[in-house]
Amino acid sequence: MSERVYLDWNATAPLRVEARGAMISAMDVVGNPSSVHAEGRAARGIVERARSQVAELVGCNTAEVVFTSGATEAASVLRQMPQGSAVCVDETAHDCVWAHFDLTGGDAGTSHTLAMGLANSETGVITEPAKPVEGLWSYGAVKCAALFLDVVQAVGRIPWSFHWSGAHLAILSAHKLGGPKGVGALIVKTGLDIEALQLGGGQELGRRSGTENVAAIAGFGAACEAAARDLADGCWAKVEKLRNILETTLADEAKETIFVGKDAQRLPNTSCFATPGWKGETQVMQMDLAGYAISAGSACSSGKVKVPRVLRAMGLDDQAAESAVRVSLGPTTTEQDVLGFAEAWLAQEKKFRQRAA
């Protein structure tokens, strides 16, 4: 094939035209957003406009948005839990959240924080927290008084609002929305005090010091505005149809392939499937040579040899979990892209079956 096809939107979405334009314009603004002169006020205006665009997409107040270098930095807020409490992390949470797992640090009290991902990056499966009882969320026998949500994969693809979710904290990342890499946000519920993520000059109302990355923040805001428009226009319903076409086409011929989470509520763009015995890394390389970019799990785990924790937690044995690949689509994906990938993948799947026979 002459052109490559990008089918790894969950790893990072292509930069939106709107984000690129906003970033280029912001680069021409010389002022520091903390300066009080006209140039500084111009830079501050760019940051605050972007803050409003982010708040509009996620359904929160502008003062609740804290700009960070990305979702991983934003997740470090979990290090601040009160002494004697614990961070109770859902088994399928992303590594940046799972890194703060500390159930052993607490007891059966009510000072704990439940941390979970709204949509899993590897499978697309959506897991909404159970409704709290008397203001407490349950994690086994432990009762949690606060809720932390990783909405990196969900925001802009499914309807979601910080306020109606009941969450106290949430994290998101610009590059999953078609914004630039290296910028994200922590959403902090009004009235909740947190220690500074980074000490210094007291930017972001003292919650994250350091001169704001004005150009990246501008691109983030523009991407959020465009994502909100796409969601309202129903573009993800079209993406879901393409995902279903892909899975039906593959399932018709690849009888041994398992489609993970197929019967669960999922993101509209994500398909995770496993052909036991056919290593996921091998499939990724074969598809790369054929001109298709897919993945064998979370991009943050690429290059690491480790037990596929998320898939095992969902009930797959080691052989199946190590054979899983993820295809994730976006608004610019076409039916030709999907069918072309299916043809290339099925050709390799047939060769795998012949070798295994």
Q: Are 176 and 62 in contact (CB under 8 A)?
A: no
Annotation marks residue 300 as catalytic: yes
Q: Helix, strand, or coil here: 190?
A: coil
Q: Are 243 and 329 in contact (CB under 8 A)?
A: yes
Q: Are 227 and 156 in contact (CB under 8 A)?
A: yes
The DSSP output letter for 116 is E
DSSP string, 238-283: HHHHHHHHHHHHHHHH-TT-EETTTTS-B-TTEEEEE-TTS-HHHH
The DSSP output letter for 129 is P
User: What is the C-alpha to C-alpha distance for residues 109 and 272, in angstroms, rounded to an integer?
Assistant: 38
Q: Which two tokens mark 20?
A: 């690129």
Q: Which of 50, 89, 272, 273 is nearest to 177 (CA)?
A: 50
| b/e sequence 164-198, b meaning 16+ C-beta within 10 Å | ebebbbbbbbbbbbbbbeebbbbbbbeeeebebbe
The contacts of residue 242 (CB under 8 Å, 6+ apart) are: 329, 333, 334, 335, 338
Catalytic-role residue among 60, 88, 224, 300 = 300
Which residue, chain included where needed, has tokens 């039906």? 248
Q: Which of 19, 13, 16 is nearest to 293 (CA)?
A: 13
Please list the active-site residues: 300
